[in-house]
Structure 1
Amino acid sequence: MVKKLFFIATLLYIGATASAENYQVKSPDGKIVAELSTDKALSLSFKYNGSKLLQESSIGVVLSDGMDLGKNPKVASRKISNHRETIQAPFYRQPSIETSYQELNLKLKNGFGIILRAYDEGVAYRFYTQRKGKTIILNETAAYQFGKDKKAWLPYTTTPEKPFAMAFQNIYHETRLDTAKQDLAFLPATIDCGKAKVTILESDLQNYPGMWLKANGSKQDQEKGILRAAFAPYPKEMAYYPWRHMSYVKSANDYIAISSGKRSYPWRIFAITEHDTQMPTNNLVYALAAPNKIGDTSWIKPGKVAWDWWNDWNLKGVDFKAGINFETYKYYIDFAHNHGLEYIVLDEGWYNSKEGSILKPIEDIQLPKLIEYGKSKGVDIVLWAVFNVMDENLETICKTYADMGIKGFKVDFMDRDDQTAIEMVERLAACTAKHHLILDLHGIYKPHGLNRTYPNILNYESVFGMEECRWTEAKNDMPLYDVTFPYIRMMAGQVDFTPGAMRNGTRDNWKAIYTKPISMGTRCHQAACYIVQDSPFTMLADTPTNYEADEPYTRYIASLPVVFDKTIVPQGEIGKYIVTARKKGNDWYVGGQSNWDERTLTLKFDFLTDGDYEAIVLKDGINANHDAEDYKIEKSDIHQNSEMKIHLASGGGFVIKVIKK
């Protein structure tokens, strides 16, 4: 799946310099220079176009035997090489990735080492060990120093009393590092360094806990703009919540990880972007992940989904009682079939969650009969489950439901990222792939490239998504978040945002209603989610009868692809607006969203090839600032040199299908 061309591997390379204690690598375009220093302590720094973005920052790993890799490191050997890769990327934002980098492999005398890479898109490093036997890691240390008065976007934990036990769903807090809260923040996080933005991510997170960041309260850390790494400790004792049979960490050890034998540890990534429009298409997390382990991916089918939970099973005008029963899901299947949707999801309630009896579907849904009905309509079924409930009887569950005709699982409520949680997710990915089942990972930590390793993982949540509209407060500004997270969170991978609301609110009249939820922003803002967001398994979150009441709109969004041949972001600014353009075959799909500020954009179509195109425009109606559900569909002819002015209402959006004639 990966073609590698290694074209110069020597002990020294022109352009990569070293002194007795300092070792440099440069990006292929020469703009980025990263440096490791081994003078008394191990530290990392890097520059972009001559401007230092990361000041000398101490890094290391502390072992249970007292060794600290960051202190007095002794170099055994170094090797610098250049690499170019073509990476196949099924169901990603493009079908393949071309990337190149310069690599430093610094082997230490203590049996460990560090690899440093410079790409055109950023810098990455990872530790590795060549030791045999068991290694207990007390901590991995990092004090990333960005300098005084730097602005950052940090997503804090929502449970400060138990910071590592949370759903990884929060808005971004825009703050200065010297005045940032001391709460833990999960990744990714972005720092504005002036000349460029730096986004901290990680990849290839195998048998190891996820990284968090914290602004320290010391005066020195505040003045230097330091973010320190933190990790969930290794669990000692697990327990269960009475509802959903969901497991949680009751007590923990004083170390973060256990590993055996020779291995590499996760990549620490600094994505560097001079322009905001480069952020949503940065590919470093995917490129640095472990290659495909499952081989053939032809059986994996992305698609759109008719979903029950967000709309609270609110069918109306039907002659049966809507709920978790056969007739309701038959209606969802009919709707999916009539609108070309590939799937329905049976969310919580199809088995007794409190008992965790996942192998005993409730009788009301008549699951085997429902599966057969779906097959007759060309609609497949995906089942919701709790992570640990799946894991505790994994092989039996996967085989039973794959044999029955189920096509995948939406797995929920991980709510932690310690080492054992990471290991559980990989077990689920491997076993479901074995049985040709897809995965939608909900209630989970941010992506770290596991969808490259197991391409049957089509989606991740770790996003402040549409479900929040059922209970959040207006201060949690979702239109603002919607034009922030594509620049930050989507660097890590695709999102399970679950868009498609048909009840839409303005800034003045939106309110949270659990049983009949309303989105913040316009209906066209919702439609644009299908283009702006990377999401190869995406929901039509509202009720089928609401969609059927507006067939022109529903047919429009149902016809949008979910995987594409090319993705670009022609214009946008983090926290203000975004315009994304994606190519599929000869056609293009352009989507844009705004925060609560209305704005008029001038769109150019210079990304088109020669020829004539028809533009089918879905845009905010003239009254959308008063009634967020107002929209208009219009058509026009365009070509490569065309320009189009389009007005976005407050919290507005648009979609344009650009169809080649």
Structure 2
Amino acid sequence: MKKFLSLFCFLFAVTISAQNSGSVKSPDGSISVIFGMNTDSQPYYLVQKNGKTAIGASRLGLVRKDGDFSKNMTVISISADAKISEHYQMSVGKQKSVSYAANQKTLRLKNGSGQKMDIVFNVSDDGFAFRYVFPETSSDVKYITEEISTFSFKSSAKAWLQPMSKAQTGWEHCHPSYEEYYLKNVAIDTKSPIGQGFVYPVLVKDGPNWIALTEASVEKNYCASHLDYDEKLKAMRVVFPQPEEVFAKDAPLYPQSKLPWETPWRVVALGSLATVVNSTLGTDLSPKSRLSDTSYIKAGPAAWSWGIYKDDGTNYELQKTFIEYASKMRWPYVLIDADWHIRIGMDRIKELVAFGKQKNVKLILWYNSAGDWNTTPYGPRGKFLTAEGRESEFKILEEIGIAGTKIDFFGGDGQSFMQYYIDILEAAARHKIMVNFHGATLPRGWEKTYPNLMTAEAIKGFEFVTFTQEGADLQPEHCATIPFTRNLFDPMDFTPMCLDKIPNINRKTTSAFELALPTLFLSGFQHIAEIPDGMAKMPDYVIEYCKDLPMLWDESRLVSGFPGKDVVMARRRGNDWFVMGINGENSAKEIEVDLSFIGDRNGFMITDAADSLFEKSPVKAGKTRVKMKPYGGFVMKY
């Protein structure tokens, strides 16, 4: 590593005093991004945290069909620091009201042909981001073929990585859908067992620092990307989708656009584990809300039959029972899943809408997004493939009073799919419909720009616990990993909480573990897996707790934890604090929970009992010790 850093210092030594290098610091001065050119005229950057290297010399640049912007570059200018500040409101997530402050600096370059490119750096107290901008104007479409953005860590660094699946594989060719188990605490240079790199967010532990890598501001003019370890560059590198990840034959895969052109932000949260988990950079770097009317957008739990009953539960009588169940639980929604158009039919759906109105419960309906990119048999299918189809279907849903849609089985991350996702969100917003993307990509901050996006799956969720015993066996560690990874910045439709039994499965988690999940996991729609019969078996105090499950928070704090081992989170709604913890390991634990920040308050704790499902006890804020069973958990409320 010393040799590596010496090489970096040499590369920068030739330019550090010249006009073609610069730096920008965070507002509190703790993070510095230093950038410049190496001796091969390649753009590089380095990041320091508290004066010590946090990210080593890392490459920057893009390659377009009409020009290479990764080498033979010349610095034209370096801007003065600009102060960036934004205050915005969220409809879902860890923090309702968010303030973002950063210092920004722009490096303007030209390549050997005189074509210009800017690299913009934003540095905040919890991390940094960079993006590329082509400032010139052209009506000709330009094509990016390669991005050479890298993140260089020590060889001793460890990572938590979810492999990208191979496109056009899996059940009915429905991959990629971001549904692989994480590789946990592995070497940074680990190669994917599938061979397609790793999806965002990637979590890294490098010395004293925790680092989370993601992207934001993915628009219709770019593809989604992911990361892979580049053996030649010895760094994690941004890579583009597989050839099959397109909406239709000859539809855009790699980025293409007219000029001027801004690329997505490459986002890095940096600091302690709490700093990374509490960070809002994923939405800070996303565009402001583009919706003029958000009055219809309301986060909340949803009753859901498919998690336990599967396809057989999609019938009129059972869905009527679930509407009554949701009403009793004070949950605002019921999700009716696949093939409702056949098993129930639109006429009877209208009857259920009317019945739900009497009970203050609205419906969410499932749809299949698919064109010819997979062979999934479920429907309604293909209703949103065209602008005319989207307008027609959303108009019908608006007229009959449907609150939201769950749209499933997308086909990848190519630019044409980014266009499709955003087209759906825009059309849904015109008709006041909320959206859940399932079998889908990571939202990448879209929930800020399009607040009608309530959640997205992009995770191996509860359904896999019900499919196989292996899925149930892996659930505890998996659930203790994803608050630090998948659910860091974006809402996640895990569909949690089974307090009772799963047919033909030996559930490994305790009921208190399950009780913690709906408030531990962030999602605008929280589809609750527990069914009416199971909930009826629970103590009254558990039922009452489940009647008040916030989905939008004023404040969130990581209290303690380590990815895959355990996690304790505190979230505030108004004056009320909710604290929840889970144990991802098969051994009992006693942990100290420091809740001094809550103040002098009395509350209650629900945890696993020695000889029954639960026990409830009084608890005082401050420092307290909490026992957790193997694969156990707890909740507190103050």
TM-score grouping bracket, smaller chain normalisation: 0.7 to 0.9
For 2:539 and 2:354, the matched residues in 1 are separated by 27
Q: Post-superposition shift, 1:144?
A: 2.5
1:310 to 307, 314, 324: 307
Deviation of the 1:32 alpha carbon: 0.9
What is the Cα deviation at residue 112 of structure 1? Answer: 2.2
Cα distance in structure 1, aligned partners of 2:310 and 2:254: 42
Distance 1:323 1:193 in 2: 48
- 1:291, CA displacement in angstroms? 0.3
Partner SS for 1:607:
helix
1:317-466 correspondence to structure 2 within 5 Å: 323-352=313-342, 362-363=344-345, 366-388=348-370, 389-392=382-385, 393-466=389-462
- Quick one: distance in 1 between partners of 2:152 and 2:432? 45
Mapping 1:186-335, distance limit 5 Å: 186-207=199-220, 208-216=222-230, 218=231, 221=233, 224=234, 226-232=235-241, 256-274=254-272, 276-312=273-309, 323-335=313-325
The aligned residue for residue 88 of structure 1 is 89
Counterpart pick for 2:538 among 538, 541, 550: 550
User: Secondary structure at 2:163's aligned position in 1?
Assistant: coil
Relative to structure 1, is the Cα distance of residues 252 and 637 closer, same or farther in structure 2, using a 3 angstrom cutoff? Answer: closer
Q: CA offsets per residue over residues 259-305 of structure 1, 9 Å max, x none? A: 1231211000111122x223322110100001000023222111111
- Residue 50 of structure 1 and its aligned partner are, at CA, apart by 1.9
Paired with 1:173 and 1:249, the residues of 2 have a C-alpha distance of: 32
Q: Are the equivalent residues in 1 in contact too, given 2:93–2:551 (CA < 8 A)?
A: no
Whole-angstrom CA distance in 2 between matches of 1:202 and 1:157: 15
RMSD of the TM alignment (CA)? 2.5
Q: In the TM superposition, what is the alpha-carbon distance from 1:335 to its structure 2 partner?
A: 0.8
Instruction: Give the direction of change, closer, same or farther, for the CA distance of 1:119–1:529 in structure 2 (3 Å limit).
Output: same
Q: Measured at CA, do residues 516 and 301 of structure 1 come closer, stay the same or move farther in structure 2, by a change above 3 Å?
A: farther
1:304 to 1:518, Cα distance in 2 relative to 1, 3 A: farther
Shift of 1:551: 5.1
The answer as to whether partners of 1:620 and 1:647 remain within 8 angstroms in 2 is no
Cα shift at 1:193: 1.2
C-alpha distance in structure 2 between counterparts of 1:227 and 1:37, whole Å: 20
Task: Give 1:541 shift.
Answer: 0.8
- Quickly say closer, same or farther: Cα 1:45–1:165, change in 2 above 3 A: farther
Amino acid across the alignment from 1:257: P
Residue matched to 1:495:
492
Match of 2:376 in 1: none
Pick aligned residue for 2:166 from 159, 162, 165: 159
Partner in structure 1 of residue 630 of structure 2: 650
- The equivalent of 1:45 in structure 2 is 46
Q: Which among 508, 512, 516 is matched to residue 524 of structure 1? A: 512
Partner of 1:636: 618
**Equivalents in 2 of 1:285, 1:327: separation in Å?**
42
SS for the counterpart of 2:543 is: helix
| In 2, Cα distance between equivalents of 1:146 and 1:587 | 40
Answer yes or no: is the 8 Å Cα contact 1:149–1:178 preserved in 2.
no
Shift of 1:519: 4.1
Instruction: Tell me the distance in 1 between the aligned counterparts of 2:17 and 2:575.
Output: 49
Pairwise CA distance, 1:540: 1.5
- In structure 1, runs of 5+ residues without a counterpart are 1-16, 239-247, 315-321, 353-360, 505-512, 624-629
Secondary structure of 1:398's partner? helix
Deviation at 1:323, TM superposition (A): 3.5
Q: Is the 8 A contact 2:605 2:635 kept in 1?
A: yes
| Contact 1:618/1:631, CA 8 A, preserved across alignment | no
Identify which of 552, 559, 563 aligns with 1:570: 559
Counterpart for residue 561 of structure 1: 550
Which 5+ residue runs of structure 2 have no aligned equivalent? 1-15, 371-381
What secondary structure sits across from 1:57 in the alignment? strand
Q: Per-residue CA shift, 1:390-417, capped at 9, x if unaligned?
A: 4221000000111011111011111411
Alignment of 1:58-137 (within 5 A): 58-65=59-66, 67-79=67-79, 80-109=81-110, 110-130=115-135, 131-133=137-139, 134-137=141-144
Secondary structure (helix, strand or coil) at the match of 2:82 reads strand
CA distance 1:78–1:119, change in 2 (3 Å): same
Deviations, residues 292-343 of structure 1 (Å, cap 9, x unaligned): 00023222111111101111159xxxxxxx7422211111111111111110
Q: Distance in 1 between matches of 2:266 and 2:505?
A: 39
Conserved? CA contact 1:279–1:488, under 8 Å: no
Write the deviation string for residues 428-460 of structure 1: whole angstroms up to 9, x where unpaired: 111111111111121111121110001111112
* C-alpha contact 1:235 1:249 (8 A) present in aligned 2: no
Q: Deviations over 1:609-648 (max 9, x none)?
A: 45x43x222101115xxxxxx432323263x5x4433211
Cα distance change of structure 1 residues 57 and 603 upon mapping to structure 2, 3 Å threshold: closer
Q: For residue 622 of structure 1, what is the aligned residue in structure 2? A: 610
Task: Answer whether contact 1:89 1:96 (CA < 8 A) is retained.
Answer: yes
Would you say the 8 A contact 1:114–1:125 is kept in 2? yes
Structure 1 counterpart SS, 2:149: strand
Change (3 A) 1:349 1:554: farther
TM-score, normalised on structure 2?
0.87
- Alpha-carbon distance between aligned partners in 1 of 2:369 and 2:271, rounded to the nearest angstrom: 35
Tell me by how many angstroms 1:534 deviates: 1.3
Contact 1:447–1:492 (CA<8 Å) still a contact in 2? no
Give the 3 Å change call, closer, same or farther, for CA 569–44 of structure 1 in structure 2.
Answer: same
Q: For the structure 1 residues 600 and 637, does the alpha-carbon distance in structure 2 shift closer, same or farther, using more than 3 Å as the test?
A: closer
Matches of 1:433 and 1:341, distance apart in 2: 23
1:4 maps to which residue? none
Q: 1:27 matched to which residue of 2? A: 26
* Partner Cα distance (1:191, 1:441) in 2: 27
Q: CA deviation at 1:518?
A: 5.4
Contact 2:468 2:505 in 1 (8 A): no
Secondary structure, in 3 states, of the residue corresponding to 2:492?
A: coil
Q: Give how far 1:235 is off.
A: 6.4
Paired residue type of 1:192: K
Q: Distance in 1 between matches of 2:395 and 2:88?
A: 31
The sequence identity of aligned pairs, in percent, is 25
